[in-house]
Amino acid sequence: VVVTARPSWAKLQTLCEALSARPDVELQIVACASALLERYGRVVDVIKAQGFSIAAECWSVYEGENLLTSAKETGALLGDLAGVLRSLDAGVVVACADRHEVLAVAQAAAYLHLPLAHLQGGERTGSIDDRVRDSVSALATYHFTCTDLAKYRVYGLTGAADRIWNTGCGSIDLAKRALSAPPVTAEELGGAGADIDLTQPFGVLLQHPVTNEAVFARQQMWETIDGWPRDLQLLAWWPGQDAGADRISKALREEALHRPIHTVRNLPPNRFLKLLTQASVLVGNSSAGIREASWLGVPVVNIGMRQWARERGPNVIDVPHDALKIRQAIDQQIAHGRYPSSALYGSGNAGARIAEVLTRVCDRADTRQVG
Amino acid sequence: VVVTARPSWAKLQTLCEALSARPDVELQIVACASALLERYGRVVDVIKAQGFSIAAECWSVYEGENLLTSAKETGALLGDLAGVLRSLDAGVVVACADRHEVLAVAQAAAYLHLPLAHLQGGERTGSIDDRVRDSVSALATYHFTCTDLAKYRVYGLTGAADRIWNTGCGSIDLAKRALSAPPVTAEELGGAGADIDLTQPFGVLLQHPVTNEAVFARQQMWETIDGWPRDLQLLAWWPGQDAGADRISKALREEALHRPIHTVRNLPPNRFLKLLTQASVLVGNSSAGIREASWLGVPVVNIGMRQWARERGPNVIDVPHDALKIRQAIDQQIAHGRYPSSALYGSGNAGARIAEVLTRVCDRADTRQVG
Amino acid sequence: VVVTARPSWAKLQTLCEALSARPDVELQIVACASALLERYGRVVDVIKAQGFSIAAECWSVYEGENLLTSAKETGALLGDLAGVLRSLDAGVVVACADRHEVLAVAQAAAYLHLPLAHLQGGERTGSIDDRVRDSVSALATYHFTCTDLAKYRVYGLTGAADRIWNTGCGSIDLAKRALSAPPVTAEELGGAGADIDLTQPFGVLLQHPVTNEAVFARQQMWETIDGWPRDLQLLAWWPGQDAGADRISKALREEALHRPIHTVRNLPPNRFLKLLTQASVLVGNSSAGIREASWLGVPVVNIGMRQWARERGPNVIDVPHDALKIRQAIDQQIAHGRYPSSALYGSGNAGARIAEVLTRVCDRADTRQVG
Amino acid sequence: VVVTARPSWAKLQTLCEALSARPDVELQIVACASALLERYGRVVDVIKAQGFSIAAECWSVYEGENLLTSAKETGALLGDLAGVLRSLDAGVVVACADRHEVLAVAQAAAYLHLPLAHLQGGERTGSIDDRVRDSVSALATYHFTCTDLAKYRVYGLTGAADRIWNTGCGSIDLAKRALSAPPVTAEELGGAGADIDLTQPFGVLLQHPVTNEAVFARQQMWETIDGWPRDLQLLAWWPGQDAGADRISKALREEALHRPIHTVRNLPPNRFLKLLTQASVLVGNSSAGIREASWLGVPVVNIGMRQWARERGPNVIDVPHDALKIRQAIDQQIAHGRYPSSALYGSGNAGARIAEVLTRVCDRADTRQVG
């Protein structure tokens, strides 16, 4: 199982739990790219803290976060990871989602003639990620999709009718668990900037840069904060690793001079999901607003094009990068309150199902090939 | 236009001629990977000899030709090429076919937000190349296919109905020209090993290693040479760059101790096509037997699985790696003689049509993007 | 001229000015590594603002700043830079100092058979940099040292008596110029944190992490700030790029909660030098305290081992990482005030002399070699 | 112990034997670069056949063998090897000699703060290798030289009086053993080309390309073969991996059309040394002619500049690349016959002595450092 970024672990965690519980499976986790970096919350430490061991690390992220470094770091990861997969003698490689690093994982597996199990194929977000995701699907052997529509798309891409399973998304497994956990407290949350009182109404802001709108990232952030109701506490996440992240961080720092903003860098995925159930509204362009929030019934204001093509439940209001419209949508969602749960992205048992299928097909196949 | 290997140039040459003839287009050719290596005929020298200049070179091929080095060299090429494309300030990137290096070209273009025009998408050969080719299609912006069926497949893959054109294959353009050229002579052919008399019946042997049958490559070569009729002159090509090439080369050297074999390393593509029209039969697993030979009407004995899924014309007899069946098929083809020309892979004007479409769509689009 | 980091430009600027003033020299500047990164002040923008153009960029810095990424980024730079130097058709390559990237520059030049002119060879700082610096000297062709002792060391290393010149350091050229410039104002200085009044006594703190003491970096910073006199304004620089920089940055952020600290990320080298002449004392472990400050006569408190082996003038008091001793030394230097100027590291005409020698030896030699 | 090329193993074998015989040492062998390639005799298979296991492999050699690929492959090896050394948790790294890959090994160790033990430092051959070798010495911690003069040179380079030992060369250990082995037979020798009768007088030709004379490599080979006496059997080795090797191979193939040449690709080092004692003369520019042959007393005709600066015993006649002078020198050596043994490069116990010193200093030092 190759973990290349923090968000992926939320989709892979219950699968890893299910795999490590099986006596007939040897689970090896490889941590790569931003999963190793403090700036992105070093999810590798989260993984270890959950009792997993890390079989190997691949450092590959270049500083600079521009289009050129994206290419260079993917190249570096491909070379490194191929060596690691070879030395680990993997039988099947599991990767998740659509970031450019994932294509390196898929290539490393394909060129080494190792079967690749890909999670989250066939989805649409409307960005360059779609092309990368489809490109990964084209290289993958086994496909575990999160929605029915995604399953049909992967079938259209690959024609591999007997190697596609719609198991739902592992992140819904975590959302299900999160419901029964105790609420997140301000102490647990940590972070910096203005104080926050989680017992009073607050909104969560999670706005990532959009790869091909990197130059506008700063301005888009200004619109959002400008549109944020004055009387709603603002809890903002630092952006992930992508072209434009620096610009968003700058905008956050500048705006924090003008209104109280509590900023957070990281929270374990399960606690983040619990926090969402405490929030009045989730604002931004995070996939969590589309996926987990639909199951959790959290009201969401989704801004801009980043998620435009993604399937969504009834809990989402879409608005452009326009302060006024963002304001209206936030007000509307606060007025509405919680939504009923939707099973669009799974029903909370994805990890177990994927583990079961994977073990079965790998038993059947002679997965190691000559060369 | 990125040339990554000798065979690609045959598909790109007439396009480059058409592009360089246009005053509104600045053509930059980048030579990469095996296109630079003497062992594979340094097609970069052929390109220069035809009057083109080379804008940049990317050395990336690792020695060893195994699965691991395939991955490593793709990673190295991706990093290098991204830097080169950035410094050349390309408006659109053209790449061809399905080798693992081509995926590096596609990634470099996609991550830099440069539109990629891909030639030869949507075909099927039944090997891992299919997955790489589809993966490239998933990343590409404009698609120029060689057959109608390939066009439908790319449509299935990408849904990009208005960005796919079936223009036929540039190699057929060259095949058309080759017909009117003077015959290849033994002097021009060069090579080593046994003498060859091109005015007497001879067969051409072109057998590449198959990526996932690398360990059998030597044995497969033995079968073929064993099946070759004693009274038919044998003109063999050294294999291209792939896992298993060393094994095929060894088999060729060993067999040359037992029967006369004339071996050749390289010939300009146009002269190779002319040579095919002089041959009694083409034997092996080369795509030339499927593509150009169908247009030229050359009788072909296609051995093994390498081309099994490719669309073919009536000039091809398929046989397994079995000396006896190879013998029978060669005899049958010699008895049959030339076939009528088939337009399955184009009608000889692909280069001009692709250049025309490409110029038009790039004019229309603001091809340079922000970031 | 290859610029790999911000501090190097201070040594290379007057040389580049002198080279670009010569009609018989074509100057090409390549910006690499941290010279391109915003986190390190993007000296490449400073260079452009001074009217120079950048011939090529090499992005190579990995995120993570640990020992492993140092190795990986040097490897990446070596491969990239070799391609760039080849495509620029350089006649002689100029590099400066002793960071691990500089060894990549030296290797790229040596393996391409290009003569390398190395500045600042033969010095001693007492860290692993010494080994890297000597390793670069071993690969270099022409050596321009900053002190007489360094010249003798390079002679001991290379035996190349006729290819070593003690020209002094280019940073002294800038120090000479800085004297006549107008004082730095708070507006010009910029930065963040506590307010600062540059017309009142202030000290400058510049403390870099020490490569093989990375784990202590945070603790060492605490000692320094603890020892800083309460009534002396504290103007601190963010640390450069090295293992441990993150730890120092953390300490700075934490300490800023307890006492007023004005923090600055970057200032053009010439303005930084002017600022030094305005400061009561320079504290930390920067080479500027040893080199430029000796010529400027600025009182310096040098902490710890980073500069222990460097030749120094009478303006330096050395102390260990001990708050009390740091306090005493700062008090002593404030009481003493300015020192007379020392010519230990040059007399302010290094750039012109190096340019003159370099042009002469390159004329004489056929610098381009076969291969 | 990092083995980067076939010739290095001859110097490292007895050390590895001595280390693996010690209960207090865990020996890990890493095979890199050309040590893995069939074209260079895959010394990694020889090592395994001698009962050693390989802890890790690093594939890094680029095809093309030019100046640019030398730089690129060194960069690739540096990045890869750093990851491997980190994952092997090495306590001390041992490397040998002066090829460009060895500098990558030295950098990987130095940047990871691992002590490097370097064998064969301080020698002189008069080529760019001298600069690389000195550059490695500058990075190394422990130095094991082969001659007294080399010891003084390393002392001049590093000043590290207490970390330099003149133990002699491990290759002399093997030469000593070879004396008592049975003679090499034609069957054992293998190879291709003309037949050879080892019971009749024969000469051994071992001519490597010289890095900065790569374009002349072919012509130089012609001179040598032209000067070879008609009545002396010619036993030629294919050249190693370096810029120009392709040219030498071509010359060998062409000349084999004009006179009988028996060509050999590889022989275990110990058998090669035995073979030398059977030969009438060793011709070419191999270091074996200078090192082992001096101890064995084999007459040597050393051609050209490759070894000009190396210390040599009385058994060597030096000639330029001139057919006539080569002929005269070969005749003179055949007339002279065997020479008495010289201890210039050691007395046959280097491996044991290095193992003993290394174990002692590593016990004393806390070799693992923080970071």
pLDDT per residue as tens digits for the range A297-331: 999 999 998 888 889 999 999 999 999 999 999 99
Chain C: nearest CA to D109, how far in angstroms? 9
Best probe of the A interface among C63, C72, C80, by most A CBs < 10 A, is: C63
Closest by Cα among B64, B75, B83, B74 to B101: B74
Exposure string (b/e) for D95-123, b if CB count within 10 Å is 16 or more?
bbbbbbbbbbbbbbbbbbbbbbbbbbbbb
Q: What is the pLDDT of residue D241?
A: 62
Q: Are B278 and B212 in contact (CB under 8 A)?
A: no
Residue type, A229: P
| Cβ <8 Å between C83 and B83 | yes
Closest by Cα among B304, B337, B309 to B321: B304
pLDDT at C117 over 80: yes
Q: How sure is the predictor about A365, in pLDDT bands with cuts at 50, 70 and 90? A: low
Chains contacting B (3 or more CB pairs within 8 Å): A, C, D
Chain A: nearest CA to B329, how far in angstroms? 30
- Nearest CB neighbour to D135, from listed C128, C135, C243: C135
pLDDT at D50 over 70: yes
Tell me the per-residue pLDDT of C305-360, one tens digit each, with 9 for 90 and over. Answer: 888 888 999 999 999 999 999 999 999 999 999 999 999 999 999 999 999 999 99
pLDDT at A152 over 90: yes
State the Cα–Cα distance between residues C361 and D149, nearest whole angstrom.
31
Q: Are C354 and C18 in contact (CB under 8 A)?
A: yes
Q: How sure is the predictor about A18, in pLDDT bands with cuts at 50, 70 and 90? A: very high
Strand runs labelled E in C35-172: 54-58, 93-96, 116-119, 142-145, 164-166
| Cβ <8 Å between A39 and C72 | no
State the Cα–Cα distance between residues B272 and D216, nearest whole angstrom.
33
State the Cα–Cα distance between residues A151 and A147, nearest whole angstrom.
6
C-alpha neighbours within 13 Å on the C-beta side of residue A204 = 28
Chains contacting A (3 or more CB pairs within 8 Å): B, C, D
| Cβ <8 Å between D37 and B63 | yes
Does residue B277 sit in helix, strand or coil? helix
Ranking B269-283, C158-172, C242-256 by mean pLDDT, the lowest is C242-256
Tell me the per-residue pLDDT of D77-130, one tens digit each, with 9 for 90 and over. Answer: 999 999 999 999 999 999 998 889 999 999 999 999 999 999 999 998 877 889
**Strand pairing partners for D116?**
D93
State the Cα–Cα distance between residues D285 and D293, nearest whole angstrom.
12
| Cβ <8 Å between B75 and A78 | yes
Q: Are A91 and A273 in contact (CB under 8 A)?
A: no
**Residue of chain A whose Cα is closest to the Cα of D81:** A80
Taking the whole predicted model, whether its pTM rises above 0.80 is answered as yes
Strand runs labelled E in A184-327: 192-193, 202-206, 233-237, 262-264, 281-284, 300-303, 316-319
Residues of chain B neighbouring A108 (CB-CB closer than 8 A) = 71
Q: Are C7 and C75 in contact (CB under 8 A)?
A: no
Interhelix angle A128-139/A100-111, nearest 10 degrees: 10
Ranking A345-354, C223-232, D238-247 by mean pLDDT, the lowest is D238-247
Chain A: nearest CA to D84, how far in angstroms? 9
Q: Which helix (H) or strand (E) holds D155?
A: helix D148-158
Two structure tokens written together for A44 = 């590798």
Chain C: nearest CA to A33, how far in angstroms? 9
Torsion of CA B41, B44, B45, B46, to 10 degrees: 80
Residues of chain D neighbouring C104 (CB-CB closer than 8 A) = 75
Chain A: nearest CA to C64, how far in angstroms? 6
Sign of the Cα pseudo-torsion (B273, B275, B281, B283, in order):
negative
Sign of the Cα pseudo-torsion (C329, C330, C336, C339, in order):
positive
Does residue A53 sit in helix, strand or coil? coil
pLDDT at A367 over 70: no
Residue type, D190: G
Q: How sure is the predictor about D368, in pLDDT bands with cuts at 50, 70 and 90? A: very low
Q: What is the DSSP secondary-structure string of D251-295?
A: HHHHHTTTS--EEE----HHHHHHHHHHSSEEEES-HHHHTHHHH
**Residue of chain B whose Cα is closest to the Cα of C75:** B76
State the Cα–Cα distance between residues A165 and A154, nearest whole angstrom.
10
Q: What is the pLDDT of residue D15?
A: 97
pLDDT at C250 over 60: yes
State the Cα–Cα distance between residues B168 and B53, nearest whole angstrom.
26
Phi and psi angles of residue B181, each rounded to the nearest 5 degrees, phi first = -80, 160
Which residues in chain B show pLDDT less than 50?
Answer: 367-371
Q: What is the pLDDT of residue A107?
A: 96
Strand runs labelled E in B50-184: 54-58, 93-96, 116-119, 142-145, 164-166
Two structure tokens written together for C358 = 């370099």
Residue in the structure block whose two tokens are 């690969």: C139
- How many beta-carbon pairs below 8 A join chains B and C? 16
**Strand pairing partners for D319?**
D303
pLDDT at D214 over 80: no
Closest by Cα among B110, B94, B118, B92 to B371: B110
- Nearest CB neighbour to B371, from listed A106, A243, A371: A243
Two structure tokens written together for D255 = 């000349």
Order across the sheet with B164-166: list the strands: B93-96, B116-119, B142-145, B164-166
Mean pLDDT of A153-177: 93
Q: How sure is the predictor about A102, in pLDDT bands with cuts at 50, 70 and 90? A: very high
Chains contacting C (3 or more CB pairs within 8 Å): A, B, D
Chain C: nearest CA to D334, how far in angstroms? 36
- In degrees, rounded to 5, the angle at the alpha carbon of residue C7 between the alpha carbons of residues C121 and C172 is 70
Order across the sheet with D2-3: list the strands: D2-3, D29-32, D54-58
Q: Which helix (H) or strand (E) holds A350?
A: helix A350-364
Two structure tokens written together for D180 = 């008592």
C-alpha neighbours within 13 Å on the C-beta side of residue B200 = 8
Exposure string (b/e) for C18-53, b if CB count within 10 Å is 16 or more?
bbbeeeebebbbbbbbbbbbebbbbbbebbeeeebe
User: Within a 10 A sphere around the Cβ of A338, how many other Cβ atoms?
Assistant: 12
Q: Which helix (H) or strand (E) holds C303?
A: strand C300-303
pLDDT at A366 over 90: no
Chain C: nearest CA to A226, how far in angstroms? 24
State the Cα–Cα distance between residues C280 and C271, nearest whole angstrom.
16
- Nearest CB neighbour to B80, from listed C56, C59, C83: C83
- Nearest CB neighbour to B59, from listed D36, D37, D69: D69
Report CA-CA distances (Å) from A21 to A15, A18, A54, D58, D220: 10, 5, 16, 34, 67
**Residue of chain A whose Cα is closest to the Cα of B100:** A111
Q: What is the pLDDT of residue B365?
A: 60
pLDDT at D365 over 70: no
Q: How sure is the predictor about C241, in pLDDT bands with cuts at 50, 70 and 90? A: low
- How many beta-carbon pairs below 8 A join chains A and B? 143
Q: State the average pLDDT for chain D.
A: 91
| Cβ <8 Å between D56 and A87 | yes
**Residue of chain B whose Cα is closest to the Cα of C79:** B80
Residues listed for chain D: 371
